[in-house]
Chain A
């Protein structure tokens, strides 16, 4: 059962029960939707971009503990970052949850490192990040994990 505690860390359960930035920020100026058709997870991500810097972020939607906590942690992690920094963080996050790099230097996002032992759950963890990329690239079509 150690794997289980690795996956469902207290931070994840906390962000699942009480997601942060679970709203549409008043001054949001880009938005994208993401959908995981296999499990029905849906996320809408809102960003407030000012001169290439993410001033605010929020999300709405429904999903499993992993996808909800990941979206919640994402909104905290990218506030104040430039587009390029956010996309760099995304690739480091992806490397972590697929087991290619360690959780070093990932801050609170390290709570999701346990996902690398559960390949079926990588899509849950990365849904919000793919959606963020779409929002930053101003893609209007809903992104999907499939």
Chain B
């Protein structure tokens, strides 16, 4: 199918799919107590899911149950509670393993979030193996979290960053990517899905291209993990990073997946308890993976909450989630495009439910405030992707981002609120 055919298909797609899903979505909404909230006296339409998602009751209950019944430190105690806490914590690791289809639970490292996962790889893997003049490929659509850790590493090691350019639709330029490789390329670190635009990158093909040259690939999965099935073995990625809170789980917990062969040769990221086998003042023997990378008492409740979030999503099934969010994106794209003066930033063919836009004559910050007063929660600003904003010639955008519980009605509220912005500004 040609690009124009695909575009016309998207534009002509009717919201029939949405109507068909309405009953299911209404059931899912009941699982999220906060969605009943009102703000400024009007019902909340939460369209800021790319920043963080709301939490279902089952996630809150899992954390609550853990603190009420099982709370103890993990991997140390001889007593019953410690055993129960350890079992629950490790069960969460296995749930995450199955979510991303990792070959082993030992390849799942619990961290604070995507940011810490990427910093871990930069400081452990990068700092050990990269030398002055080595090259790291990132893209022009990265979140600052997948730029700054590499810049820090570059300062420390003398390595340099090479940037994959982005085209006018907000897609990576594949041919240019291909040409960036040379003898000094040591790593590709690229986002699976753009947080600012929603673009789904062709990561399978990008990984193949890197592997032909023996270069490992890190994927920033923060914006992908809750919206599509991720199979790290099928992708054959070397590292995959994501946060629990974008997956309907708690904040402060995230995951680094890495191939065990890599984790085995990487030195610890932080020193402390749990990551050692034996310590003496003559030397320390590190624990095996994954514990080698989990210094200190971990976020036990967070991991258990994340496990509950994984269960929640798995019970619904990605087929339903993806279908609903894609239908919502099509409907929202059509509806918002019809508002005179709106320019949508990023119209890649493959997108998740993220709609970034600007409105002629109104700064995104003002759009955000006016929408907020109508109960519509969106994000405005540079979305921690300043190089990408520069590429599109804007300092900021307004961004609506959808989750599984969003509805056609909420999209209609968004559109009505944008019209109200125009009214206030007299345009």
Contact = CB atoms under 8 A, between A and B. Distances in A.
Interface of A: 1, 3-4, 7-8, 13, 38-42, 62-66, 68, 118, 120-121, 124
Interface stretch (B188-196, B331-339, B363-371): B363-371
B396 interface: yes
B368 to A, nearest CB: 9
Interface in B225-278: none
B363 A64 contact: yes
B395 A62 contact: yes
A67 to B, nearest CB: 8
B381 A38 contact: yes
B363 A3 contact: no
Contacts of A66: 365-366
A38 B395 CA distance: 10
Interface size class of B (residues with CB under 8 A): 10 to 19
Contacts of A4: 370, 373, 424
Contacts of A13: 424-426
12 contacts: A4-B424, A8-B425, A13-B424, A13-B426, A38-B381, A39-B381, A41-B365, A62-B395, A65-B363, A66-B365, A68-B363, A118-B369
Contact of B366 (A1, A40, A65): A65
Q: Give 10 nearest A-B pairs by CB, closest first.
A: A40-B395, A64-B363, A64-B365, A39-B365, A40-B396, A65-B366, A64-B366, A4-B373, A8-B424, A39-B381
B362 interface: yes
B389 interface: yes
Interface of B: 40, 362-366, 369-370, 373, 380-382, 389, 395-396, 424-426
A128 B37 CA distance: 36
A23 to B, nearest CB: 21
Contacts of B395: 39-42, 62
A1 B369 contact: no
A13 B365 CA distance: 14
Nearest to A120: B369
Contacts of B365: 39, 41, 63-64, 66, 121, 124
Contact of B363 (A1, A7, A39, A120): A39
A89 to B, nearest CB: 25
Contact of B373 (A3, A38, A39): A3
Given A8-B370, A40-B395, A121-B365, 9 more contacts: A1-B373, A3-B373, A4-B373, A8-B425, A39-B363, A39-B380, A41-B395, A64-B363, A124-B365
Contacts of A68: 363
Contacts of B425: 8, 13, 65
Nearest to B370: A4
Nearest to A124: B365
Nearest to B424: A8
A106 to B, nearest CB: 22
B165 to A, nearest CB: 22
Nearest to A62: B395
A1, A63, A66, A68 — most chain B CB neighbours (10 Å): A1
A128 to B, nearest CB: 15
A39 B396 contact: yes
A7 B389 contact: no
Residue with the highest number of chain A CB atoms closer than 10 Å, among B366, B373, B382, B389: B366
B370 A40 contact: no
Contacts of B363: 39, 41, 63-65, 68
Nearest to A37: B382
B389 A40 contact: yes
A121 B364 contact: no
A3 B380 CA distance: 20
Contacts of A42: 395
Nearest to B380: A39
A118 to B, nearest CB: 6
Contacts of B426: 13
A65 B425 CA distance: 9
B51 to A, nearest CB: 13
A124 B396 CA distance: 14
Contacts of B380: 39
Contacts of B373: 1, 3-4
A121 B370 CA distance: 12
